Structure 1
Amino acid sequence: MFDTLEKINGATLQHGRAHNRVYLMDTEQYNWDLLIENMKTIAHKKEYDKILSRVPEEAIDVFKSKGYTVEAKIPKLYNGEQAGYFLADYLSSERANSPSQVKKTITSVKTIALAANSSSEDAFFALPDHLEIRKLGEKDLPSIIRLHEMAFQSYPFPIHDPEYLKQLLHENHEFYGLFENDALLVSAILKIQENESSVEIMDFATHPNYNGQNLNYYLVQEIKQRVSSNKYKTLYALVRATSYGLNITFSKHGFILGGTLMNNTVIRGNLESMNVWYCNLSEA
């Protein structure tokens, strides 16, 4: 059960049963009224219960007038100049609400993560000698697929398919991995958005035997250093809002909390809220 990527009037939409939502990922057109109408038509036809849109600041008044609410903001997301916003329209009251205990956990995670915020200098830890981080290529696909099979019970895209991963590698994505004795322990996929001068860190996968060891810390550190040395101006990630470890990791590396996307993403069969962490690299 994979999500669909669809181009409509210059906009790229991700939608499907995996997350039961429509997600406006990016757009090259600015007829916001028509785009909002088209997304709502798809959502009603497919019986989705959330529409999430990532748009530049110039669009937020139109989206708000149609009932959308701002869930997160990334200043200077677009080419280091215009802010980007995540706005949501909930088509069911159930999707819009979370149990009180989950809300308490999300609040606790934010509080502890924000308290851990530090400068890049204070956050730096040398990679242990027995570990190695490198950019991954086609020769690493078998290792990536094995790790994905162990880390993800289900996924909205065919990340176990070598042809799909090859396509990502050739179409504005980069893969990074952390190894111990040539065994891939942690991987991450980066989506390079050249037209925005931004990079999104996506899809951390950790070998189940190494969960809880915070190896993501070293991978985030390396990715931030590599991206900072290039022309990109903003680095961001969507992180499971109830995960203490990964939220603390991003905060320690100087990322800023931009907001929370409520009941947004299905992970391991559970509907999860996602915190948006960002770093404006020119200011880091």
Structure 2
Amino acid sequence: MREVNVMKEDRVVSSNDYTMDVSLDFFNERLKVEDYRGNVASIHKQVMRLLDEHPFTKVIVKSRQEDWKTFLELGYQFEALYTGYYNGSDAYSMALFSENSRRTSDYWIFEDETLQQVKEIKCTLDVPSASGYTIRKAEEKDAKELSNLYQAVFEIYPTPMNDPDYIAKLMKHDSIFYVAEYEGKIVSAASADINRKYHNAELTDCATLPEHRKNGLMKILIAKLENELKEQKIFCSYSIARALSFGMNAVFHQRKYAYKGRFTKNCNIFNKLEDMNLWVCDLSRR
């Protein structure tokens, strides 16, 4: 899920032998190193200084392929692999925990069982018909109605999607939204958050009102977003789905995304810190 939040601060931290883009994510109680160059040991020392200053219980680093073993030696653990993230090169998601309670998952075995059930489903790129629904690209004027949808579906969400101004701001930058309407009302939505620097996109903000689920709407919206990404020559598409959710994991498995790992207690969603599964697809192979 997109990591922009009213309870979040982005910084560029530099010294004579490194620079890094860090996100102080207070809402999700974590520190994220989104990008970096330079001396990994010096980066780690700065991370530890930031942990001394702030009450974060998890650190997440998107490591280059050549550095993940160094992060491992510094005490980080490998969680998931973003294949093709850096303009075709892989990003290794490395995690460091400061509390046992954050490191320990309460539902890991159940989530493994759910994942196995998901993988038994047949993969298909066929898109169901949208009989009775209108599928379209969202516009800024839809921001208020979209915020109502997210507020209705999620009691707690890692980003302020209940704020129409925030949604409108996303649309002005590099986020594409598609929606499904029923009788003139938006009942389902999803977005693609595009990273222009590294030519990848996260499929996120997936929400459908309960009474409209099981109609295949999310598969339709995801397919529309994928077509938009391919037109823009964005081929690395990924999504982070709640590990407890059979439905969303099934959508990405059926769309031929590959499971690439699980983030332990990654973010606050619904009513707790939840584990999240990473799904990645190379759209150029479609």
TM-score norm. by structure 2 comes to 0.89
Match 1:167 to one of 166, 169, 174:
169
1:8 corresponds in structure 2 to 12
Q: Alpha carbon RMSD of aligned pairs, Å?
A: 2.0
Q: Which amino acid aligns with 1:3?
A: M
TM superposition outliers: structure 1 runs of 4+ over 6 Å:
none
Residue of structure 2 in register with 1:69 after alignment: 77
Percent of pairs with identical residues: 22
How big is each residue's C-alpha offset from its partner over 1:47-96, in whole Å with a ceiling of 9 and x where there is no partner? 2111112232122122112111111112222112x111111111111111
Q: Within the alignment, does 1:189 sit opposite 2:197 as a pair?
A: no
- The structure-2 alpha-carbon separation of the partners of 1:240 and 1:87, relative to structure 1 and needing over 3 Å to count, comes to same
Shift of 1:111: 0.7
Residue of 18, 24, 32 corresponding to 1:23: 32
Match of 2:277 among 269, 275, 278: 275
Aligned residues: 277
Match of 1:105 among 105, 110, 128: 110
Write out per-residue CA displacement over residues 178-210 of structure 1, whole angstroms, 9 at most, x where no aligned residue.
212221111123210111111101221222433
Report the counterpart of residue 85 of structure 1 in structure 2: 92
Which residue is equivalent to 2:52? 44
Residue of 53, 63, 67 corresponding to 2:61: 53
Following superposition, the deviation at residue 117 of structure 1 comes to: 5.1
**1:160 Cα shift?**
2.6
The structure with the largest helix share of the pair is 1
The runs of 5 or more residues in structure 1 that have no matched partner are none
Tell me the secondary structure at the aligned position of residue 29 of structure 1: strand
User: What amino acid sits opposite 2:225 in the alignment?
Assistant: I
Contact 2:25 2:32 in 1 (8 A): no
Of residues 27-36 and 271-280 in structure 1, the stretch that sits farther from structure 2 once superposed is 27-36
2:9 is paired with a residue whose SS is strand
2:12 is aligned with what amino acid? I
Moved more, 130-139 or 240-249: 130-139
- Secondary structure, aligned partner of 1:18: coil
What's 2:102 paired with? 95
Contact 1:177–1:185 (CA under 8 A) maintained in structure 2: yes
Query: Is the contact between residue 145 and residue 162 of structure 1 (CA under 8 Å) also seen in structure 2?
Result: yes
Amino acid aligned to 1:192: I
Matched-pair contact (CA < 8 Å) for 2:178–2:224: no
Contact 1:124–1:221 (Cα < 8 Å) also in 2 = no
Name the structure 1 match of 2:16.
Answer: none
User: Partner residue of 1:204?
Assistant: 206
Distance 1:39 1:214 in 2: 43
Partners of 1:21 and 1:43 within 8 A in 2: no
Cα offset for 1:28?
Answer: 5.0
Cα 1:209–1:36 change in 2 (3 A) is farther
Offset at 1:216?
1.7
Residue aligned with 2:160, SS: coil
Unaligned runs of 5+ in 2: 14-18
The one-letter amino acid paired with 2:199 is: S
217-226 or 45-54: bigger deviation:
217-226
Cα gap change, 1:208 to 1:116, in 2 (>3 Å)? closer
CA contact (8 A) 1:258 1:276 kept: yes
Q: CA deviation at 1:213?
A: 4.9
